[in-house]
Structures are given as structure tokens and as C-alpha cells.
């Protein structure tokens, strides 16, 4: 079933020169058809390396438009080239590309519409070096979101995601934030439209070259999650409409 679907991996990159090649080399090209890299105005040689290792589609932003904006470019190009299944993988080697077949299989066989690589299922997060404060915040925010959005996900904050084409075409991701909250808005939209969301346990690695946001940005992100969750609850309860879910 996998080989009857066009599978595209997208790599939203920012200063990923040190980890890009390791990530790219582990992508299972026996099932992956094409790779898209968008570079968000990196100050290193990410684009040059992407060309050298043979990435098919490279989008180079001339200014830094943000984490969410970078993903929008990826998803738009993936849909434009006819992707049936789109896997979003950070090129910082924090998540293993070896899970792509498992995630894509669940979508290709119509078991789920969206599959998340969860760092929380199992004990991979702490063992992989996730800072304790981030782990605790993850658990608190996830509990709050599960209550507000009426889901039972282990986490909403992973950067490893697999989408069906139908899910991306249905949700209005183009109007979402260009910042880090983009991921959360996108997942809330998938929940609102009733897409089936599955999870697979994903080991993760935290090291110097892996991308991360600082404490201040983490707080801003956390407040954004609370906002999105409340917007979802109010809109779904028909108390106050939000453009996010139209």
C-alpha cells in the first residue's frame, strides 16, 4: 500500500548544517519519493549542503519568516508536487527518520489521518535528555489540552508528524501563526475537523546542535497553547467563534 502513495518528507531548516546530512542519510528512500527542504535564512551553509547531498526541492527564504512560516512553505510545495502523505521531520537529528515507514503505513492504510511521533510514550524523553522543566511543562500543558479539546494524546508538542493529503487540504494552516505556536494550531485544527490522530513512540535526542527554544520563548509558547485550547473550547461549544477553526 505504501508504494501506491506518493510520500514526501519535508525538512523545515534553520542553521541545520551540522545535522542535515545525518538526518538525510537515514531517510528510507525505498518508500520516500521526494524530499523538500526550506531554509529560513540560515547563517550557516545549510543550503549549500542540501544541494551537495542531492535534496530534490530546496526553498531558500531571503528573510527569516519564522518556524511556522517555514513549515507553510514546505506544506504548500508538498501539495503542489502531488504528495499523498507528507512527513514533517526536523533536520536537527533530534528524531530518527527510521520511524517514517511506520508512521506513513498507518496513514496509507487509512488507519489514521495524522500520526505523531511521541516523545512521551515510553521513557524516551527523559532518557534522551529532555530538560526536566520542559518535560513537566509538556505534561501539564498536554493534560490541559486533552481536557479542553477532548482528546487523549500523550503530547501535542512533537516536531515529528505525518499527514494525509486530505488533512492538509481541509485545515486552514496558511492563516496560522508564523511562530512556534503554528504546530499547536495545526493539530487543534485537525482535532476540530475530526481527523483521526494516532501516535507512535519515538526516541529523541537532545544535544548541542539540536534545535530548541530558550526559557523565555518556551513561556510565550506555553501561553499560546493555553490561548489556542481556550479558543478551541469556546468555538466548539458555540460560545465564541474563532477564525482558526473556520
Residue 93 inside a domain? The answer is: yes
Residue 90 CA to its chain's centroid (Å) = 8
Q: Which pLDDT belongs to residue 212? A: 59
Q: Which pLDDT belongs to residue 238? A: 96
Residue 6 inside a domain? The answer is: yes
The tens digit of pLDDT for each residue in 57-96 reads 999 999 999 999 999 999 999 999 999 999 999 999 999 9
* DSSP β-ladder status, 114-118 and 34-39: unpaired
Q: Which pLDDT belongs to residue 246? A: 85
Residue 235 inside a domain? The answer is: no
Residue 101 inside a domain? The answer is: yes
The number of folded domains in the chain is 1
Question: What is the C-alpha separation between 244 and 87, in angstroms, rounded?
Answer: 23
Residue 236 inside a domain? The answer is: no
Q: Which residues of the chain have pLDDT under 50?
A: none
Complete DSSP assignment for 183-218: HHHHHHHHHHTT--EEEEE--B---TTS----HHHH
Range of the structural domain that residue 196 is part of:
2-130+157-212
Residue 8 inside a domain? The answer is: yes
Residue 223 inside a domain? The answer is: no
Q: Which pLDDT belongs to residue 117? A: 96
Residue 237 inside a domain? The answer is: no
Q: Which pLDDT belongs to residue 208? A: 59
Q: Which pLDDT belongs to residue 124? A: 66
Q: Which pLDDT belongs to residue 217? A: 83
Amino acid at each position: 500500500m505504501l508504494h501506491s502513495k506518493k510520500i514526501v518528507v519535508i525538512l523545515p531548516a534553520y542553521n541545520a548544517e551540522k545535522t542535515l546530512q545525518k538526518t538525510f542519510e537515514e531517510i528510507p528512500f525505498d518508500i520516500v519519493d521526494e524530499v523538500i527542504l526550506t531554509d529560513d535564512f540560515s547563517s550557516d551553509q545549510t543550503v549549500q549542503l542540501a544541494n551537495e547531498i542531492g535534496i530534490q526541492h530546496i526553498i531558500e527564504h531571503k528573510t527569516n519568516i519564522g518556524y511556522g512560516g517555514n513549515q507553510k512553505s514546505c506544506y504548500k510545495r508538498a501539495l503542489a508536487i502531488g504528495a499523498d502523505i507528507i512527513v514533517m521531520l526536523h533536520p536537527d537529528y533530534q528524531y530518527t527518520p527510521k520511524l517514517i515507514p511506520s508512521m506513513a503505513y498507518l496513514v496509507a492504510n487509512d488507519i489514521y489521518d495524522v500520526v505523531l511521533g511521541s516523545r512521551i510514550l515510553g521513557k524516551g524523553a527523559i532518557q534522551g535528555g529532555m530538560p526536566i522543566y520542559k518535560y513537566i511543562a509538556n505534561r501539564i500543558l498536554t493534560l490541559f489540552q486533552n481536557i479542553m479539546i477532548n482528546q487523549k494524546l500523550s503530547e501535542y508538542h512533537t516536531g515529528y508528524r505525518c499527514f494525509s493529503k486530505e488533512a492538509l487540504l481541509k485545515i486552514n494552516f496558511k492563516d496560522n501563526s508564523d511562530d512556534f505556536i503554528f504546530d499547536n494550531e495545526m493539530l487543534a485544527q485537525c482535532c476540530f475537523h475530526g481527523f483521526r490522530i494516532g501516535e507512535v513512540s519515538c526516541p529523541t535526542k537532545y544535544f548541542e546542535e539540536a534545535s530548541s527554544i530558550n526559557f523565555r520563548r518556551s513561556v510565550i509558547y506555553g501561553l499560546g497553547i493555553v490561548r489556542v485550547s481556550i479558543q478551541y473550547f469556546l468555538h466548539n461549544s458555540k460560545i465564541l467563534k474563532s477564525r482558526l477553526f473556520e
